[in-house]
Structure 1
Amino acid sequence: MIRDGQLHASQMEVAVFSNSTQQWHVALACGTFTYHDTPSFTLEWTTPSGQSVSSSQYKEGQFLLLLDNPVSGGSYICHVPHSSASVACLHGNSTDVSSTVVVDDVKTRLTLLEAVNQQLKGSVMELEAEKQQLKESVMELKAENGQLKGHLDEANVMISNVSKHLLKQDNQTIARIDSVSSLLSQHLNDERTKRVSFLATYLNDSTPSDEDVLIPTTVLNNQGNGYNPATGKFTAPYNGTYCFMASLCAHGSGHDIDVCLMVDGKPELYVYTHISSAKSIDAASLQALVSVPAGQSVWLQANSDNNQFLNCNSFSGFLVSYDL
């Protein structure tokens, strides 16, 4: 019901932003009611042109009317519709309870301008914060670049000193040193520019047969494009030492996790666990550092017919270091 039996209409000092129109609106408030939640009725308003419109929303005991832009000045009257008098708990179910607020054109423009100004200030502050973050990121990149340049300078000095020492040798030795210098330079460049890693999950077949390749089809990372989700195999793009990992989950009493890591068709590492009758789910993992020549493939392979996997399996790997 109305708190003191009377309606009180007023123009809100602060404009209201509407998500539906994406605009700021001058808002008129009428109340005050004692309902905590939105009532089952609404107040109606009579505009200066005589048009009857319903309230836009209910908030904290007051019905709000968001005025269309541009705002029409004049008298706005709020009242309870006759059909809602009893629901609104008016004395004697009267529909004569109303309140009038006079809207001034100049005041409404100032209210809207103030709201837009505050919004712009907020946007400027956000832009300043983003600008500061960008400055910090640039400074971090400069620091990293300085460290990298320092490492390259040290490597170049080392190569230069070795070259000077060996220039006293015969032409064959000099040729070999030039070759080594070129390889070192290429290696340093590879370390800076070439990255290899992959992560794939979700097996295409949860019950593979013995010697079937486990094929995770959802690729979350494939830097260097070494992993093929169609075959489940990773092919090394460069000679080097690689780290391979697998996380395997299985379910069903009496089933196993029986998998081996294959390198160029040969088993490199096995993982095995049996799900006892007291368990319904088990997990296992493997990790191996392997020297793999460029073009050679690595994959996971079922080692029996008794595997029954869940979807939370993954196969991943990354290049640890290049071979010169």
Structure 2
Amino acid sequence: MASVIIGDGLMTTDGHLHASQMAVAVFRNSTQQWHVVLACGTFTYHDTPPFTLQWTTPSGQSVSSSQYKEGQFLLLLDNPVSGGSYTCRVPDSSASVACLHGNSTDVSSTVVVDDVKSRLTLLEAENRQVHADNRQLHADNRQLKEEQNQTNARIDSVSTLLSQHLHDERTKRVSFLATNLKDNTPSFHDVLILTTVHNNQGNGYNPATGKFTAPYNGTYCFMSSLCGYGSGHVISVFLMVDGKTELFVDTQFGSAVDYDAASLQAVVSVRAGQSVWLQVNGDINQFYSYSYSNSFSGFLVSYDL
């Protein structure tokens, strides 16, 4: 595929060059400065022309165009801007490429640059940039304030939780210890009721029922020490949590042994209102009657937030 461009002389809108000073300055990243811009054109090429324009400065220096954009060759003036006449033309070496022949080879256009007007143009551009930067700073500041408010809200929330946690650590203390078994020969599925309460912090243990009811959601540790008596009998006890077996201990006495001991310990998760107790398994359990021989105890390890 090929493109063919057909034109008469310079391919501009009217066959002539028109030099002018753009009303708005341009910011150049390479210099990090605003520049007054001169334009020369306007060309009808679809793409960049196969030649460039030369500019003659007021001091007589010849410089090439800085860039080509939207049909015009542009020249970005250095700062500070030198006032005077700037002329754009097609260099002689590019005359044939630009389709210039005969008397039409000297095609040029001149624009007079006022250095005061140029400084005003630069100041206006810088002022617009300052306003734009200020608007962006205000927007960034609002965003930072919103983020800070959100952060403060999260900090306040965590602080509240920590304060509540510390308060709970001081106030939500639960522990109990009970001894003195009410019935030394309980029946199958009976609850072991220990009637003497030595400690009942949080009032969770009920000596009338033998059951501990959790006042808070949390992790609890429960322990029991049991002593059996009489040959041919056993100690067979479940630790029950809300009606479900959590742990089981079992020991049998030999014919020549009248005493035996068993113990259990468990760390379990218990919801507020759920009960924990010791329950007999079998019907040949027999416990030693000394009041301190059997015990049931527990304490709150940590409560759930």
TM-score by length of 2: 0.52
Task: Say whether 1:137 aligns with 2:134.
Answer: no
Are 1:70 and 2:75 an aligned pair?
no
- Partner of residue 20, structure 1: 30
Amino acid at match of 1:68: D
Instruction: Evaluate the alpha carbon distance shift between residue 51 and residue 71 of structure 1 in structure 2; reply closer, same or farther with a 3 A threshold.
Output: same
Judge conservation of contact 1:12–1:28 (CA < 8 Å) in 2. Answer: yes
Structure 1 match to 2:138? 128
Distance 1:170 1:91, change over 3 A: farther
- For the 8 Å contact 1:48–1:74, the answer to whether it is kept is yes
Counterpart residue type for residue 2 of structure 1: T
- Counting only pairs closer than 5 Å after superposition, residues 39-58 of structure 1 correspond to structure 2 as 39-58=49-68
**1:175-195 per-position Cα deviation (integer Å, ceiling 9, x unaligned):** xxxxxxxxxxxxxxxxxxxxx
Structure 2 equivalent of residue 161 of structure 1: 171
Q: How far does residue 13 in structure 1 lie from its aligned partner after superposition? A: 0.3
Asked if structure 2 preserves the Cα contact closer than 8 Å seen for 1:46 and 1:53, the reply is yes
* Deviation for aligned residue 1:22: 1.7
Contact 1:75 1:103 in 2 (8 A): yes
Q: What residue number does 1:113 align with?
A: 123
Name the % identity: 66
Opposite residue 107 of structure 1, the aligned amino acid is: K
After superposition, give the CA deviation of every residue in 1:73-116 in whole Å (9 maximum; x if it has no partner).
01111111111112112364722211110000110000111111
Structure with greater proportional helix content: 1
Counterpart amino acid of residue 139 in structure 2: A
SS of 1:58's partner is strand
Which is higher, the Rg of structure 1 or of structure 2? 2
Superposition map of 1:1-324 within 5 A: 1-90=11-100, 92=102, 94-163=104-173
RMSD: 2.7
Query: Does the 8 Å contact 1:82/1:95 carry over to 2?
Result: yes
C-alpha distance in structure 2 between counterparts of 1:60 and 1:82, whole Å: 24
Q: What residue identity is the alignment partner of 1:74?
A: G
Matched residues in 2 for 1:124 and 1:170: separation? 73
Classify the secondary structure of the residue corresponding to 2:172: helix
TM-superposed CA distance for 1:153, in Å, is 3.0
In structure 1, how many angstroms separate the alpha carbons of the residues matched to 2:161 and 2:47?
Answer: 67
Task: Report the TM-score, using the length of structure 1 for normalisation.
Answer: 0.49
What displacement does 1:7 show?
A: 0.6
Residue by residue, what CA displacement relative to the aligned partner does 1:205-259 show, whole Å, maximum 9, x if unpaired?
xxxxxxxxxxxxxxxxxxxxxxxxxxxxxxxxxxxxxxxxxxxxxxxxxxxxxxx
Tell me how far apart the structure 2 counterparts of residues 155 and 52 of structure 1 sit (CA, whole Å): 80
Task: Kindly provide the amino acid, as one letter, of the partner of residue 98 in structure 1.
Answer: S
SS across alignment from 2:47? coil
Aligned residues: 174
CA deviations on 1:296-316 (whole Å, 9 max, x unpaired) are xxxxxxxxxxxxxxxxxxxxx
Task: Specify the code of the residue in structure 1 equivalent to 2:140.
Answer: E
Question: Do the aligned partners of 1:73 and 1:102 also contact (CA within 8 Å) in 2?
Answer: yes
Helix, strand or coil: the match of 2:111?
A: strand
Q: Is the CA contact 1:8–1:31 (under 8 Å) kept in the aligned structure 2?
A: yes
Q: Deviations over 1:238-285 (max 9, x none)?
A: xxxxxxxxxxxxxxxxxxxxxxxxxxxxxxxxxxxxxxxxxxxxxxxx
Partners of 1:43 and 1:162 in 2: CA distance: 87
* Runs (5+) with no aligned partner, structure 1: 174-322
How far did 1:16 drift? 1.3
Give the counterpart letter for 1:31 in structure 2: G
Alpha-carbon distance, 1:143 to partner: 1.1
The whole-number CA distance in structure 1 between the counterparts of 2:48 and 2:55 is 18
Seen in structure 2, the aligned counterparts of structure 1 residues 105 and 170 have a Cα distance that, compared at 3 Å, is farther
